[in-house]
């Protein structure tokens, strides 16, 4: 299995509180992604990173921020959680070039905002 770990795996939080999800990889892959998965919407990209300190927005980035200070860690922060952010969050990693072609997913974080 690819070395990618998400933490926490489950979290319940109250509306208005900040929340940070962590994605840690041991594959030294350049690209890291945060997705949310909701019924009827498939996987939607929140933010992604193409290197240390290099990040960009995805299609559903409002209300989320990210940081990548090290190759191995990609953090997703909900500044002030809302009920609409209740979802399953997946981190993914991918390499570049002809060798590292796979894109692997973490186990997911189930976030409930009450």
List the alpha helices (DSSP H) in 51-104: none
Q: Please report where in the chains the tokens 């692997």 appear, as a residue.
A: 104
Verify binding: residue 112, another protein, rule CB under 8 A.
no
Structure tokens at 32: 């890291």
Verify binding: residue 40, another protein, rule CB under 8 A.
yes
Rounded-to-integer distance, Cα 42 and Cα 36, Å: 8
One of 61, 67, 71, 104 touching another protein (CB under 8 A): 104
Phi/psi for 85 (5° steps) reads -95, 5
**Nearest to another protein of 15, 52 (CB atom):** 52
Residues that bind another protein (CB under 8 A): 31, 33, 35, 40-45, 48, 50, 56, 58, 90, 92, 94, 96, 98, 101-108
């Amino acid at each position: 299995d690819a070395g990618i770990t998400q933490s926490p795996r489950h979290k319940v939080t109250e509306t208005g509180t900040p929340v940070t999800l962590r994605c840690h990889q041991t594959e030294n892959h350049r690209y890291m992604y945060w997705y949310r998965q909701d019924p009827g919407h498939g996987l939607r990209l929140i933010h992604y990173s193409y290197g240390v300190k290099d990040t960009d927005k995805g299609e559903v980035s409002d209300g989320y921020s990210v940081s990548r200070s090290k190759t191995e860690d990609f953090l997703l922060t909900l500044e002030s959680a809302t009920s609409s952010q209740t979802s399953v969050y997946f981190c993914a990693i991918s390499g570049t070039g002809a060798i590292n072609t796979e894109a692997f997913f973490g186990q997911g974080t189930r976030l409930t905002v009450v």
